[in-house]
Structure 1
Amino acid sequence: MPSIARVPSEPAPGEADALRSRARGALLGLAVGDALGAPAENMKPSEIRARWGRITGYVAERPSGTDDTEYAIFSGLLLARHGSALTPAHVEAAWHAWIADRAEGQFRGAGFSERGTLENLRRGLAAPISAQHRHAWSDGLAMRAAPFGVFAAGRPAEAARLVAIDGSVSHEGEGIYGGQAVAAGVAAAMAGAPATAVVASALAVVPDDSWTARSLRRAVVVAHRGERAVRSAVVIGGYPWTDLAPEAVALAFGAYAAADGDFKEAVLTAVNMGRDADTTAAVAGALAGASQGESAIPQEWAAAIGPARGSCLPSMAGHHVLEVADLLTPEDDRPHRAGRATAAPGGAVR
């Protein structure tokens, strides 16, 4: 790997406007990437080419975020309420109040890791036992990790600490590492770190010998050779499920590195690699949006993102990612705060 630039320290007072632009870029970028990638989810590049050629924009008639966006809103609202004081008990209570104890939307809890978590919670199991299911290694935490990097701008280790608390209810092992890599990367990007330092920040918070770290290193080493090389370096051929956190996170960082942080190129690279394309593009979009700010997102893409529809989580209906971004960024030149009360879906979570 090339030499790694130092990650800038957390933003100083007086930088609130720039920080808010990066925050809005990160979470709007997540939602845009999610919506762009959703039609290509679980597809091979050859299947994408056969159907659309190269995807260069929305291919759905009514593009919108999927469970990736709605779970990111969920975690962002929870983090806005509790901030650095977040505990597993807070997370578990929110899963019950906002998801498990309510009627589910048409996605019925979303992916395998969420499904397993909800079943365990409804059986009365508490964290971390609630995370003991067959898909605890999925990218379900990585897809909702960006808000932690937004909150802990310039503090990758703190972002990694907080997202692991969130993930303790639903994930273990590589599933946690994937979320930590994303949260730390976004935190570094929020402080203006170059792409090499964003990658280094992600690697610094996960075990060096983990599957996540190995896949991430392989992806960024070949990123200069393009998306085919990135995909070949990390995809588990023949495995039927595409939600492996080490694979999805590596594809997302590989797309981001290949684009050197450019938003449009990073997201489209992720989309056209297929696999879990909504999640990989959402993560790449969060990283690049944090790097470049809200203005880097093409207006026609941004305009399609409205409030969440609640298709997966009815309690998230009506909340917009930009609302969450603003809740997680400073006011009156105060870079960080322990927590901030916000209107919780269906009432307060304590």
Structure 2
Amino acid sequence: MDLEDKIRGMLFGLALGDALGGPLEFMKEEDIRWQFGIVEDMIGGGWLKLEPGETTDDTAMTLCVVKGIMENKEEPIDAIGKYFMEWYASEPKDIGMGTRHALEAYQVHRNWIKAGEAAHTASGGRSAGNGALMRCAPVAYFYRDDYEKMIAVTKAQSQMTHIDPLGIEACCINNHIVWELLQGKALEEGVQTALEKYDIQGRYRDCIERTVQYQQLNPSGFAVDTLRCSLYALMNTGDFYDAVVTAVNMGGDADTIGAVTGAIAGVHYGYAALPAIWVYQLKDFHEIDALCEAIMD
């Protein structure tokens, strides 16, 4: 599998998880099962009234991260922020509360550190939402030859909107896994080394040990919960399709759990493993395809 297959797998995989999970956001698992059985098609709908294949802020902000790094790889934060603000000005359908606080604060302070601090204060000191986790995976690709720089940018892009250490820890675990996959390592090895390096408190240990029960997972918007759900879906399935379907049918913050799972699974299994019927239903297909071409160029 070459690098193009992996970056396409990452970006399209993230968008597929987002679009598949978007209509299920805020639903309980039992309500999903009662209404749909198992969701494995692009159904659209949900509280955002999405069209089948339409993505949310997860994909939009991820593409902002990609564009910002491509514009200024050495010092990407201001460039990423520029694209965040352009997206914000477009009046998107959905934007997380913590992210909204940060973008509004940036308009006042014109400084991303102060914006992140203001959002943290506005959240009552609980800014470990999954809004930075959902968008961080491309950082691992662009800095795949410099691990320390990769981690520094991973942390910095989180601090723009989510400065809580638990959220930053989740981003580091996520991107360590992606980085290891880009080095050709196996998924389980990548998860194992990520947890050894960053999971000091053992919040994710039962995921790699496969001792966590499905009923113990909480598909909330808390970054730790989101990553735990994604790790469960990744470690207990054998292909991209099953991983993403498992992730989104948990309900809760289904679009982000799907996006995080889809990005990692996309790198692991590659673009060729993504269900073509899903890929060509994506409303963002042409934009993501063109961006992948630009990355490879």
What is the alpha-carbon root mean square deviation over aligned residues?
Answer: 2.4
Counterpart CA distance in 1 for 2:199 and 2:111 is 26
User: Which of residues 255, 279, 289 in structure 1 aligns to 2:233?
Assistant: 255
* Structure 1 counterpart SS, 2:38: coil
Aligned residue number for residue 270 of structure 1? 247
Counterpart CA distance in 2 for 1:128 and 1:257 is 35
User: Which of residues 139, 149, 152 in structure 1 aligns to 2:143?
Assistant: 152
Q: CA deviation at 1:65?
A: 1.2
Q: Give TM-score, length-normalised by structure 2.
A: 0.86
Unaligned runs of 5+ in 2: 45-50
Do the aligned residues in 1 keep the contact of 2:133 with 2:260 (CA within 8 Å)? yes
Mean Cα displacement is larger for which, 128-137 or 200-209?
200-209
The one-letter code sitting in structure 2 at the alignment partner of 1:299 is A
Aligned residue number for residue 258 of structure 2? 281
Distance 1:249 1:157, change over 3 A: farther
Q: CA deviation at 1:126?
A: 2.1
Structure with greater proportional helix content:
2
User: Which of residues 98, 102, 107 in structure 2 aligns to 1:122?
Assistant: 107
* Structure 1 counterpart SS, 2:109: coil
1:38 and 2:22 are equivalent in the alignment: yes
Matches within 5 A, 1:140-289: 140-153=131-144, 157-172=148-163, 173-209=165-201, 214-222=202-210, 229-232=213-216, 234-235=217-218, 242-260=220-238, 262-289=239-266
Distance 1:143 1:22, change over 3 A: same
Distance 1:153 1:323, change over 3 A: farther
Q: Give TM-score, length-normalised by structure 1.
A: 0.74
Counterpart CA distance in 2 for 1:99 and 1:205 is 34
Q: Per-residue CA shift, 1:181-227, capped at 9, x if unaligned?
A: 22222222223321212212432553512xxxx3322233236x7xx
Distance 1:106 1:275, change over 3 A: closer
% identical aligned pairs: 25
Aligned residues: 284
Counterpart CA distance in 2 for 1:114 and 1:220 is 30
Do the aligned residues in 2 keep the contact of 1:150 with 1:328 (CA within 8 Å)? no
Distance 1:285 1:156, change over 3 A: farther
Do the aligned residues in 2 keep the contact of 1:185 with 1:202 (CA within 8 Å)? yes
Q: CA deviation at 1:141?
A: 0.7
Distance 1:206 1:62, change over 3 A: same
Distance 1:120 1:148, change over 3 A: same
Which runs of structure 1 show a deviation greater than 6 angstroms over 4 or more consecutive aligned residues? Answer: none
Q: CA deviation at 1:263?
A: 0.5
The one-letter code sitting in structure 2 at the alignment partner of 1:59 is I
Do the aligned residues in 1 keep the contact of 2:26 with 2:254 (CA within 8 Å)? yes
Unaligned runs of 5+ in 1: 1-16, 237-241, 309-318, 332-350
Distance 1:180 1:328, change over 3 A: farther
User: Which of residues 42, 45, 54 in structure 2 aligns to 1:64?
Assistant: 54
Counterpart CA distance in 2 for 1:150 and 1:302 is 21
The one-letter code sitting in structure 2 at the alignment partner of 1:130 is A
Do the aligned residues in 2 keep the contact of 1:231 with 1:273 (CA within 8 Å)? no
